[in-house]
Copies of this chain bind each other. A is one copy, B any other.
Amino acid sequence: MSGNTFGTLYCVTSFGESHGPAYGGVVDGCPPGLALSGDDLQKELDRRKPGTSRHVTQRRESDKVEILSGVYEGRTTGTPIGFLVRNEDQRSKDYSAIAERFRPGHADYTYWQKYGARDPRGGGRASARETLVRVAAGAIARKWLNERYGVSIRGCLAQLGPHAIDFEDWKFVDENSFFAANAQVVPKLEAYMDSLRESGDSVGARVNVVASGVPPGWGEPVYGRLDADIAAAMMSINAVKGVEIGAGFASVSQRGSEHGDEMTPEGFVSNNNGGVLGGISSGQDIVVSIALKPTSSIRLPRRTITTRGEAVTVATTGRHDPCVGIRATPIAEAMLACVLMDQALRHRAQCADVARPLQLEKPRKIN
């Protein structure tokens, strides 16, 4: 299976470039009978849409999605769901400068070395605009997961550059343009972003995602583990450089007597493992954290080379997110949803006849 499809049973295939005619995707393997309309996808697409605040790219795209197949009379039929989002705002522009010199930290150089040529307009296939396909596919997955298993998936911005953001309540997430689960911190973030934008620089971020209600048993040891799939899915998001499950890197200095989550008849007492043990879901919250690097397209001049190997400097003008992490929350949620749905289907394929031996009273939620 080539690089633009992921999933074993819930398969997402993506195509499109930043300045081509359209992005589109195909979701194959969705169970039949799910109530689904374009609105279900649109709602999630609107959450990651560009141009929603001054802190993100000012590209104007309605990101209007059209479902082309797989739905009949308002319900999925079990056949592949094709969908399309036309690009609208491909501002005509001279790309010759960027076409010949590489932006430090950008995929310009590696695409060119791999394929011998590339579409330089707006990053081509490497543009983060591709993530809209993931969000659309994730919208279907999260709807099915919720209706079928009661799973809910939520995410929030946990750190913006130097500013860690304390978790207050999920309810705040959709009330600010940062996906911060904290209302008080917003003015500080806005001021920081205003100053950053003015400086012509960019910054990294951390995003947390949590899936609640996942039953125990999802995940395929030993290589197809749930956490391995999550790691791949998250690392495949543009700009992601690190992935943690549960305690993550804090595990390094923990002792076993601290890390190993004790159990009582009421459930787990803690959640250092982030809901995954031995690659299989434990019934606790799945807790994932990712690191996103700063946007590589910045206005500050930087040393680089041309396609002929000459030393030059490059400064990127144009409409770029100064922090790609700000719009990453719905993307990370979507990727987690797709992975969970895939593993849910894989689990019931092999283990549909297993009567789960023990139902703990009520899994203790640790967010």
Taking A69-B15, A232-B232, A252-B161 as contacts, is the C-beta distance between A225 and B3 under 8 angstroms? Answer: yes
- Residue from B14, B241, B348, B355 in contact with A245 in the complex, judged by beta carbons closer than 8 Å: B241
Expressed in whole angstroms, the Cα–Cα distance for A251 and B259 within the complex equals 26
Q: Which of B31, B245, B302, B308 contacts A351 (CB 8 A)?
A: B31
Check A21 for interface membership: any CB of B closer than 8 A: yes
* Nearest-Cβ distance from residue A155 to partner chain B, whole angstroms: 15
Give chain A's interface residue range (CB within 8 Å of chain B).
35 or more
> Complex formed: what's the CA distance from A263 to B109 in Å?
10
Contact of A244 among B30, B241, B311 (CB under 8 A): B241
- Contact flags (1/0) for A1-12 with B, using CB distance below 8 Å? 111111111111
Docked pose: A349 CA to B273 CA in angstroms: 27
Complex formed: what's the CA distance from A345 to B1 in Å? 12
Residues of B within 8 A of A217 (CB): 110, 113-114
**How many copies, total?**
4
Interface residues of A in 253-301 (CB under 8 A from B): 253-265, 269, 272-274, 276-283, 291-296, 298, 300
CB of B17 within 8 A of CB of A69, answer yes
Does A366 lie at the interface of the complex (its beta carbon under 8 Å from any beta carbon of B)? no
Whether A294 lies near B358 (C-beta < 8 A) is no
Contacts of A259 in B (CB 8 A): 105, 204, 293-294, 296
Q: Are A107 and B11 in contact (CB under 8 A)?
A: no
Asked if A162 CB lies within 8 Å of chain B CBs, one says: yes
Closest CB in chain B relative to A64 CB, distance in Å: 14
Q: Report whether B235 and A241 are in contact in the complex, using a CB–CB cutoff of 8 Å.
A: no
Given contacts A2-B220, A78-B351, A231-B235, 6 further A-B contacts (CB under 8 A): A22-B82, A106-B260, A107-B277, A107-B278, A256-B298, A309-B358
